[in-house]
């Protein structure tokens, strides 16, 4: 009967785990809907603003107000790794960590690399082997444009002061609840788009083109970073919902297997007791 008690305890433990994973799945599903709506609504605006600024910046080489498009020799690279503060979301965080390490060891191995981490999980791992210039875990506590703007201002200041020559964002881009794509995106310097020279771009700008760019580039960069953080936030809940769904399915399968084992063991115990009773009765008759 000790074996039966052990199986009962395991079944009870698995059922408790099922309740937790199922509840976490539902919580992530509720949060995912809001986060998905936010990033879906923001993407067209952010992409169009970035495209506009890239087009304008391409025509302002050497002008004031175009400092963020300055191309320098890449001696120092800053990599911004965007992860989450919590785990239990599959390979969501580890994929960002692996890509960040790959960038430092392969793509920019000749440069002096430094990292900025957004999210506790990425910082805990990367801080063991990489130089961390800035870590911000609080941005996900209240995910607003103002909070993300502070990080963007820090990145822009470091680039303007020539403390780094290139800034790369590494984050999970949200595709759907079951798919998150690791995205590597250049934040600074701004990459000018290749425009078709046959297209007439003789517009009248008011105020001047340089003033427009000088005013809008900081806003565009802040929006670009905010979009990346929003993408990561939606991807986190999608990854956690998927992970908890799989965990619940696995726990259900394990519970069924344990229940079957329990029934077999119980049946064997009952059969053994019956055989003992029958054997005892036969002994008395003889």
208-235 pLDDT, tens digit per residue, is: 777 777 788 888 899 999 999 999 999 9
Q: Sorting pLDDT into bands at 50, 70 and 90, what band is 23?
A: very high
Catalytic residue among 79, 89, 111, 221: 89
pLDDT band at 196 (very low <50, low <70, confident <90, very high): low
pLDDT tier for residue 14 given thresholds of 50, 70 and 90: very high
The whole-model pTM stands at 0.84
Nearest one of 245, 110, 90 to 172, comparing CA atoms: 90
pLDDT at residue 207 in the model: 74
Residue with tokens 């509840």: 23
Report residue 105 CA to chain centroid gap.
21
In tens, the pLDDT along 145-192 reads: 999 999 999 999 999 998 999 999 999 999 988 899 999 999 998 876
Distance CA 132, CA 129 (A): 9
Cβ-based neighbours of 74, under 8 Å, separated by 6 or more: 108, 111, 165, 166
Does pLDDT of 64 surpass 50?
A: no
CA-closest candidate to residue 113, choices 51, 158, 167: 167
- Name 1's Cβ contacts closer than 8 Å, sequence gap at least 6: 269
Whether 89 is a known active-site residue: answer yes
- Domains annotated for the chain, with CATH where assigned, are 45-239 (3.40.1380.10)
Span 4-8, mean pLDDT? 88
Identify the band that residue 197 occupies on the pLDDT scale cut at 50, 70 and 90: very low
């Amino acid at each position: 009967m000790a074996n039966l008690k052990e199986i009962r305890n395991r079944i009870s433990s698995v059922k408790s785990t099922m309740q937790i994973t199922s509840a976490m799945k539902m919580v992530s599903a509720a949060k995912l809907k809001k986060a998905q709506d936010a990033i879906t609504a923001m993407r067209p605006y952010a992409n169009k603003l970035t495209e506009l600024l890239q087009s304008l910046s391409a025509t302002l080489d050497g002008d004031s107000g175009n400092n963020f498009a300055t191309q320098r020799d890449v001696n120092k690279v800053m990599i911004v790794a965007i992860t989450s503060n919590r785990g239990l979301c599959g390979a969501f965080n580890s994929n960002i960590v692996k890509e960040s390490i790959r960038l430092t060891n392969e793509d920019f191995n000749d440069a002096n690399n430094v990292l900025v981490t957004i999210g506790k999980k990425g910082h805990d791992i990367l801080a063991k082997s990489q130089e961390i210039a800035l870590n911000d875990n609080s941005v996900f506590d209240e995910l607003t444009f103002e909070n993300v703007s502070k990080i963007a201002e820090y990145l822009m200041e470091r680039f303007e002061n020539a403390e780094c020559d290139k800034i790369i964002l590494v984050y999970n881009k949200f595709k759907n609840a079951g798919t998150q794509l690791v995205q590597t995106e250049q934040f600074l310097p701004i990459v000018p788009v290749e425009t078709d020279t046959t297209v007439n771009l003789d517009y009248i700008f008011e105020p001047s083109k340089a003033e427009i760019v000088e005013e809008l580039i900081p806003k565009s960069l802040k929006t670009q970073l905010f979009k990346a953080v929003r993408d990561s936030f939606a991807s986190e809940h999608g990854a956690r919902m998927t992970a908890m769904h799989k965990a619940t399915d696995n726990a259900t399968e394990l519970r069924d297997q344990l229940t079957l084992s329990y029934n077999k063991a119980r049946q064997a115990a009952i059969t053994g007791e019956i055989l003992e009773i029958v054997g005892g009765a036969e002994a008395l008759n003889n």
